[in-house]
């Protein structure tokens, strides 16, 4: 069935370093890929998303890249700060009008000061 694999499950980086989280999806019809950040005790919040007609998208220190051929997409956080510490989830869906997101299992990022 459809699934999204996410790696690593935990990631520790020194403040100021970069962090990369990778997801691989199985359904080639997927065309929308959001990333959510969930701080401890809080709701998941969308931080960036990408559609399949784009290879890369940036928003300040956060970027997402998509390789449709390989069916994987990655979240890149540069110049990490302690407030980046959270659980990050990737997801894949077939776009507007479809209801189902397939979520990855999450990555716990710790930024060490």
Partner 1 sequence: DVKVTQSSRYLVKRTGEKVFLECVQDMDHENMFWYRQDPGLGLRLIYFSYDVKMKEKGDIPEGYSVSREKKERFSLILESASTNQTSMYLCASKQGATDTQYFGPGTRLTVL
- Applying CB under 8 A, the residues found at the interface with partner 1 are 6, 9, 32, 34, 36, 42-46, 49, 89, 93, 95-97, 99-101, 103-106
93 C-beta neighbours (distance < 10 Å), count: 21
Contact 5, 107 (CB under 8 A): no
User: Between 18 and 45, whose beta carbon lies closer to partner 1?
Assistant: 45
CB of 91 to partner 1, least distance (A): 8
CB of 24 to partner 1, least distance (A): 14
CB of 18 to partner 1, least distance (A): 24
DSSP state string for 37-95: EE-TTS--EEEEEEETT-SEEEETTEEEEEETTTTEEEEEE-S--GGG-EEEEEEEB--
User: Between 78 and 105, whose beta carbon lies closer to partner 1?
Assistant: 105
CB of 40 to partner 1, least distance (A): 12
């Amino acid at each position: 069935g459809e699934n999204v694999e996410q790696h690593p499950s935990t990631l520790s980086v020194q403040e100021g370093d970069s962090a990369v989280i990778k997801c691989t999806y199985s359904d080639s019809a997927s065309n929308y890929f959001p990333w959510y950040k969930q701080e401890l005790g809080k709701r998941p919040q969308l931080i960036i998303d990408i559609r399949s007609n784009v290879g890369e998208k940036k928003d300040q220190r956060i970027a997402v890249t998509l390789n449709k051929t390989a069916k994987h997409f990655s979240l890149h956080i540069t110049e990490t700060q302690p407030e980046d510490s959270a659980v990050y989830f990737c997801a894949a869906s077939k776009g507007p009008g479809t209801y189902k997101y397939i979520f990855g299992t999450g990555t716990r990022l710790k930024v060490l000061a």
